[in-house]
Amino acid sequence: MPCLNRSALSILLATLPAILLATLLCAPLRAETRVPTSQAEIGLGFAPLVKAAAPAVVNIYVKRVVQTRSSPFQNDPLFADMFRNFGELKPRVQNSLGSGVILSSDGYVVSNYHVVGEATDIRVVLNDRREYAARVVLADEESDLALLQLEGARGMPHLSLRDSDTVDVGELVLAIGNPFGVGQTVSSGIVSGLARSGGAIGSARGYFIQTDAPINPGNSGGALIDVNGALIGVNTRIVSRSGGSNGIGFAIPAKLVQAFMDQAKAGNTSFERPWAGINGQVVGGDIAESIGLGVPSGIMITEMHRESPFFQAGIKAGDVILSVDGQAVNTPSEMIFRMSVVGIGEDVAVTFFRDQQIESRAVTLMNAPDVPARAQRVTGRDTPVPEVTLVNINPRVLAEFGLPLSSDGVVVAETGPYGARAGLRAGDVISEINGERVSDTGAALRALEASGRWLGLLIVRGGKPLQLKFRL
């Protein structure tokens, strides 16, 4: 290395502070997450953090009008299901409360679908007691998220969204919400787990961050924040035998909230998640050993639709999907989450295991095709079950009703008043009418019109066949 003369060295030493200052100013600042190192730091507690974050967490008061039936059999364990549709429909006002988080200065608020979904009147109250009327901009029951817009809001306090993929187990977190309607409340805890999903948490679908920060009814839709005041999740549910907090709470990751926000600002009126067109099972120890996979992980594809983007990319049944977009997936819920945060129209790297080798393919994410045509038909007044809406099966219909990919027949889209009384439900697949297979709505309508003194329907509900017979 060449030596510097005295003059050059003097110039370098004189300019070094300026160089260091410029470097610090130009370098991106990264929020520091660390354990307190002094008694003074411990003494501060979370007060400064709460003062900064709490104004962006709101209380939500909801009214909804529901139609209920009054039946003398509604509490009878034997006849309640049989007379489910018996009795006069009467409107009834339901009041509920929950929490929400302001995400932007112009008043976008995220909450849970189960808090504001199907609401007829929504009032949002800030912690400084200001009140705003709100309307639902985008809502999705499956993800349990809803985005509200405050009317006439400007310059609102709001929280920034952190990439929830960077969250680690053991991080300190705060839960802010309105439990039991007592007013804004703050509780503390840690991140107890990541990528929680499945029936054990009361949801067959979903992908959650687990925390031991106390969460109670009314906390739903509230904020789960890190020690830097960034939103890492939206509190949504708990596991409890008593109805109160047992230290097992779950939050929807902020990364899905960001995807939700992006779609709302793009003008979407419903949340669009990519369609996989596959069914699979979790790979346990026995399966992993049988196929030569060293560690039990991933999802083995058991069924695949020919229109699936995975099929189009060369992935086939029997392959084990290990990761999507560089993130490991071990349950179908994890895979749906990873696809949802990437978005429709994007290419995503999918890693899979096949024939003792790990391969990777680029998959273009897409919406479920709405072809062939649905050919919607409504049964006429002269049929045994009038005013029932039937549609043909296609990938979009399969996705909308959560039907098996192998479904064959026509789908009951709406039961109407007479179909419900006959025992039909939306999402039922009618595969046979009077012993004859039906492949489209036209054939189904002709078969219904030709019924004689008896009507026999073979339907598939929840993957199980069910026979319905009526004397006309």
String of DSSP letters for 113-179: HHHHTT-SEEEEE-TT--EEEEEEEEEETTTTEEEEEETT--S---PPBP-GGG--TT-EEEEEE-G
Residues 309-354 pLDDT 10s: 999 999 999 999 999 999 999 988 889 999 999 999 999 999 999 9
Catalytic residue (choose from 99, 220, 245, 297): 220
Does the pLDDT value for residue 87 go beyond 60? Answer: no
Domain that holds residue 351: 278-364
pLDDT at 77: 56
pLDDT at 44: 61
Kindly state whether residues 168 and 257 are assigned to the same domain.
yes
Does the pLDDT value for residue 276 go beyond 90? Answer: yes
Asked whether 184 and 59 are in contact (CB, 8 A), the reply is yes
Catalytic residue (choose from 71, 96, 104, 114): 114
Does the pLDDT value for residue 19 go beyond 80? Answer: no
Q: How far apart are CA 88 and CA 404, in angstroms?
A: 35
β-sheet bridge partners, residue 469:
456
Residue 156 placed within a domain: no
**The domain boundary residue, chosen from 337, 364, 391:** 364
Catalytic residue (choose from 140, 144, 319, 428): 144
Residue 107 placed within a domain: yes
H helices present in 169-228, as ranges = none
The whole-chain average pLDDT of the chain stands at 83
Residues 283-304 pLDDT 10s: 999 999 999 998 999 999 999 9
Active-site annotation holds for 114: yes
The stretch 226-245 carries a mean pLDDT of 82
Q: Which amino acid is at 96?
A: S
Q: How far apart are CA 159 and CA 53, in angstroms?
A: 7
pLDDT at 242: 62
Please give the residue that has the higher pLDDT: either 195 or 454: 454
pLDDT at 82: 54
Q: How far apart are CA 390 and CA 448, in angstroms?
A: 12
- Choice among 58-62, 217-221, 280-284 with the minimum mean pLDDT: 217-221
pLDDT at 196: 78
- CATH number, domain containing residue 118: 2.40.10.10
In this structure, what token pair is assigned to residue 457?
């329907």
Residue 284 placed within a domain: yes
Q: 309 preceded by cis ω (within 30°)?
A: no
Active-site annotation holds for 305: no
Exposure string over 432-469, b if 16+ CB within 10 A, otherwise e: bbbeeebebbeebbebbeebeeebebbbbeeeeeeeee
Kindly state whether residues 180 and 110 are assigned to the same domain.
no
- CATH number, domain containing residue 323: 2.30.42.10
Kindly state whether residues 174 and 121 are assigned to the same domain.
no
Kindly state whether residues 351 and 381 are assigned to the same domain.
no
Does the pLDDT value for residue 21 go beyond 50? Answer: no
Q: How far apart are CA 77 and CA 60, in angstroms?
A: 36
Kindly state whether residues 141 and 63 are assigned to the same domain.
yes
Residue 388 placed within a domain: yes
pLDDT at 70: 60
H or E stretch covering 107: none
pLDDT at 15: 43
Residues 371-383 pLDDT 10s: 999 999 999 888 8
pLDDT at 238: 79
Does the pLDDT value for residue 179 go beyond 90? Answer: no
pLDDT at 63: 80
**The domain boundary residue, chosen from 150, 185, 217:** 150
Residues 366-422 pLDDT 10s: 999 999 999 999 998 888 899 999 999 999 999 999 899 999 999 999 999 888 888
The percent of residues in the chain predicted with pLDDT above 70, rounded, is 80
The dihedrals phi and psi of 206, each to the nearest 5 degrees, come to 135, 165
Most confident segment among 4-13, 58-67, 172-181: 172-181
The stretch 7-35 carries a mean pLDDT of 43
**The domain boundary residue, chosen from 150, 174, 209:** 150
Question: In the chain, how many H helices and how many E strands?
Answer: 11, 25
Residue 41 placed within a domain: no
Please give the residue that has the higher pLDDT: either 364 or 78: 364
Kindly state whether residues 360 and 381 are assigned to the same domain.
no
